[in-house]
Chain A
Amino acid sequence: VARFIVRRLLLLIPIMLGLTLLIFTFIHLIPGDPAATILGERATAESIARVRASLGLDLPLHEQYLNYMAGLLHGDFGRSFVTSRSVAADFLQRFPATIELSLAAMIFAIGAGIPLGVFTAKRRGGFLDQAGLITSLVGISIPIFFLGLLLKWIFAIQIPILPDSGRIDQASFLIPRVTNMMLIDTLLDRNLPAFIDAVRHLVLPALALGTIPLAIVMRITRASVLDVISEDYVRTARAKGMPGSIVDRRHVLRNALLPVVTVIGLEVGLLLGGAILTETVFTWGGVGRWIYEAVAGRDYQVIQSGVLLLALIFVVVNLIVDISYAFIDPRIRHT
């Protein structure tokens, strides 16, 4: 196991190096530059040149890359070109908001996806199964930003029962940011109305972000349950006269959920990507919106370090999942 872990950790080095190079190259392919964003439309050529020089953007690209890498090796993710704020500190400040949204979306996806998958599997071929399959296909296909706008239009504007954007009603509640996860902060503040308001703000973005994972979880669960219920041991259990609900719980569900868990692990990447769109639509102050704004403002330092940090989290989460599997299932270590 130790050798497996070391091997996987060593693999991280070329992966992260490749990532930095890839992100750096792509970012510099976007037309426009941060100096123009900082200065606005009235900037003279001289002032743009001065700002470019002060940001180090007048250097050849390879030198800029080497400077960036030198900073990274010292644990320095740099400062935003536009706001001068520390990229790492800004990331850490916003990440809890993204986690909160992603967790809510995941809970929605799992909480609804698994029962729906089991439900449709047990009615295989029936009307509800067909309807479920079609709905899940739509769920997978619908772009997040479109779904977000649609949900917002219906439930916040046409039938205004939920808030349209933000994380809490700032006009009514001033909550001290301790963890920057609004649900926790409102509880720490012992403010129940604020907690309820925070939950209401979470509903639409979580639905928008959780719909694709929900559809995937539902389809995998359905397929997996269908596989398992035709296994011999399930038939045997039933033949022995074991009650149906116990067979379902002990034998079917437990075994059917193994591939679902794997898929959920992979969904982390999907959620982080989807968060950029969801947070933008719902002006949710997380990492996704922060990176979106940075792209709009050509804030290279924020884009490259922000995306790198997100990628790092994704890689580390997957690594931990892999390592845990290595403990759980010896076959993994040899593949």
Chain B
Amino acid sequence: VTTSRWLVPFAVMALVVGACAGPVASPSATPTGTGPATTATPGPTGTQGGEPQQGGTFVFAGARLASQLDPIRTSDGESFRIFRQMYNRLVEIKLGTIGELDPALAESWDISDDGLTYVFHLRSGVKFQDGTDFNADAVVTNLNRWKNLPEEYQGDAEYYEAVFGGFGDASNMVSAEATDANTVTMKLNHADPQVIYGLTLPCFSIVSPAVLEATHADDPVNGTFTTTATQGGTGFFTLTEYTPDDSAVFVRNDSYWGDKAYLDRLIIRPIAQAPDRLAALQGGSIQGFDLVSPTDYETVAGDANMQLLERASYNTFYIGINPTAEANSALQNLDVRKALARATDRQSLLNTFYGGRGSVADTFIPPISEWYTTDGIEDLSFNLDAAKALLAGAGYSDTNKPTVHLWYPSGVTRPYMPDPKGISEAVTQMWENAGFDVVVDTAEWGSPYLGDGARASKFETFFLGWTGDWDDPANWWDQHFFVNSDGTPNPQFSFNPPGYVDLLRAAEQELDPTARKEAWAKVGAMVINQVGFITVVHGDTAVAVANNVHGYEPQATGTEPMAGVWLSQ
């Protein structure tokens, strides 16, 4: 009797295990063989560590993987990292830059003088990983698919909407046609210089039409494209196994049309917390990870077994201001807003929370951008005395302090905002030193903070930030300080002082690059001088890799292609 009782729990478990053993996905069993080494330098490689070596497996960790595998329905960096390895776009951002275009699946392109007609001359002889031909029909299929996405998918396809303004008839893309086997003509309704840059984003990856069809990609009920590891790309790696909370396994695409990758295999793992990613690199179970916590920069840089690879800042952390969020807000007074700006010691925040890496943000667009300018911008740098004087001038005193409500998000860190709570405590102290009464509050990241809070005009001051998608001033200023055609401003800031709309419309409609830069500089100067928000810091982000990893070149745009990565012994 005793023996049988002993066996009961194990017998039950064994039964359950047996029942579960069936439907487990079975990935490819063997690594691909090593193909002939290429002497060309694929992608962004450097040659530190000697001559590049072929082979090996590189295990890299991000915070998570792509939630699903349909590029057009994603908009986040973790998803883009996956698609960058397996797909190509028509055009790419040149590696090492944020605003230069590089040919990719389109060898060249022409844009008509009126900015309405785009002609793409496609690379010939390229094949998708499923063996089908890449050609003009394939591109047209993709362009038309994006434009006519099923309604159920449209909410996800944020960048299509951002770049083309809407779907179906509301899309700025009027038509896309194959002029011949290797030429595609795309027509727009109105000129928009952002379109060509938008097409460089990994969400605009070109997918094999055969794969789209076979997986019923546009059938919201029976479609399997989002969940099946596909071979629909033309990229330097082929995705062979994909489990969203476990790993993405790639093998080198030996039929790649360009310079082939060095690695035999690339594995990307999701590890949510930065300290866990660091521990995994220290423990040797991964060879690299993204988004090093700024508090760990010194640890990584000081460890002989690791390298810290910093990305130049292409983001800005800001304190949003919305004077209409609360009745009788003291921030309706410009001098009070200026006092808030001058009370904010940005250098101190940079040193404390960003490990001193990055730069103080005098304006919204970071200095690495060709659109960066501080023309016309007043000096609103940290000066406690000036802040106090501004408050006194506005009629406030120690016995009559202006109250400011400050919101920070909980349950999140962002590349531009590594420690929201810590920063809120520091900022509170700074503002109180200048003579403000500060009420601090928090809301859960996601809808409570964004949709129902900041974007619903509920927060008087709040923490947020922005990472540039492509190098264009509209992607910064217009994205935040737009004014609708009916005259209503973005509810997040409610910013629309007299004369602003005229400046904004002039900038939006200007196509000549030089005049465009001047026009947007005027918009930016007005926003900064009127203290529509307080730009704080352009924080660097960083990747950590093991010492035997070479050729990983961090990109300011955030996600790197890994074709140039190689491992030494």
Contact = CB atoms under 8 A, between A and B. Distances in A.
A290 B9 CA distance: 24
A321 B283 contact: no
Interface stretch (B100-108, B118-126, B271-279, B387-395): B271-279
A232 to B, nearest CB: 20
A265 B25 CA distance: 31
B68 A83 contact: yes
A328 interface: yes
B283 A89 contact: no
B283 A165 contact: yes
Contacts of A320: 8, 12
Contacts of B414: 41
A257 B446 contact: no
Contacts of B280: 164-166, 283
Contact of A31 (B9, B269, B448): B448
Nearest to A324: B8
B249 to A, nearest CB: 8
B77 to A, nearest CB: 9
Nearest to A37: B446
Interface stretch (A8-16, A44-52, A127-135): A44-52
B185 interface: no
B345 to A, nearest CB: 26
B134 to A, nearest CB: 27
Contact of A285 (B57, B245, B267, B443): B245
A264 B28 CA distance: 39
Contact of B26 (A85, A95, A172, A178): A178
Contacts of B279: 152-153, 156-157, 164-165
A201 B138 CA distance: 45
A170 B287 CA distance: 11
Contacts of B27: 174, 176-177
Given A32-B446, A258-B2, A93 B24 contact: yes
A85 B464 CA distance: 32
A171 interface: yes
A60 to B, nearest CB: 18
A290 B220 CA distance: 24
A47 B8 CA distance: 52
B44 to A, nearest CB: 22
Most buried by B among A32, A293, A313: A32
Nearest to B76: A40
Given A43-B450, A99-B16, A170 B2 contact: no
Interface stretch (B155-163, B194-202, B501-509, B535-543): B155-163
Contacts of A265: 8-9
Given A38-B156, A51-B155, A264-B9, A171 B267 contact: yes
B533 to A, nearest CB: 16
Contacts of A47: 154-156, 158, 161
A290 B245 contact: yes
Contact of A96 (B10, B24, B67): B24
A179 interface: yes
Contacts of B28: 174
A200 B43 CA distance: 37
A296 B28 CA distance: 31
Interface in B342-382: none
A83 B9 contact: no
A153 B68 CA distance: 33
Interface in A80-138: 82-85, 89, 92-93, 95-96, 99, 102-103, 106
A152 B269 CA distance: 18
A33 interface: yes
A133 to B, nearest CB: 25
A48 B269 CA distance: 28
Contacts of A31: 443-444, 446-448
A40 B75 contact: yes
A152 B8 CA distance: 33
Contacts of B226: 83-84
Contacts of B156: 38-39, 47, 51
B243 to A, nearest CB: 7
A28 interface: no
B282 interface: yes
A74 B5 CA distance: 35
Nearest to B455: A45
Most buried by A among B1, B9, B29: B9
Interface string B245-287: 1110100000000000000010101111000100110111101
A42 B5 contact: no
A50 B411 CA distance: 25
B59 A328 contact: no
A43 B154 CA distance: 12
A93 B6 CA distance: 28
A99 B448 contact: no
A113 B357 CA distance: 51
A318 to B, nearest CB: 9
A274 interface: no
A158 to B, nearest CB: 9
A171 B57 contact: yes
B179 interface: no
A157 B6 CA distance: 38
25 contacts: A31-B443, A32-B444, A36-B446, A40-B75, A41-B464, A43-B451, A47-B156, A48-B155, A51-B156, A83-B68, A83-B227, A95-B16, A95-B20, A153-B279, A163-B285, A170-B57, A171-B287, A174-B249, A177-B27, A289-B245, A298-B446, A320-B12, A324-B5, A324-B8, A328-B5
Interface of A: 31-33, 35-51, 54, 82-85, 89, 92-93, 95-96, 99, 102-103, 106, 152-153, 156-157, 160, 163-166, 169-172, 174-181, 189, 254, 257-258, 261, 264-265, 268, 281, 283, 285, 289-290, 293, 296-298, 313, 316-317, 320-321, 324-325, 328
Given A103-B10, A163-B285, 8 more contacts: A32-B448, A36-B450, A50-B154, A99-B20, A178-B21, A283-B271, A283-B276, A285-B243
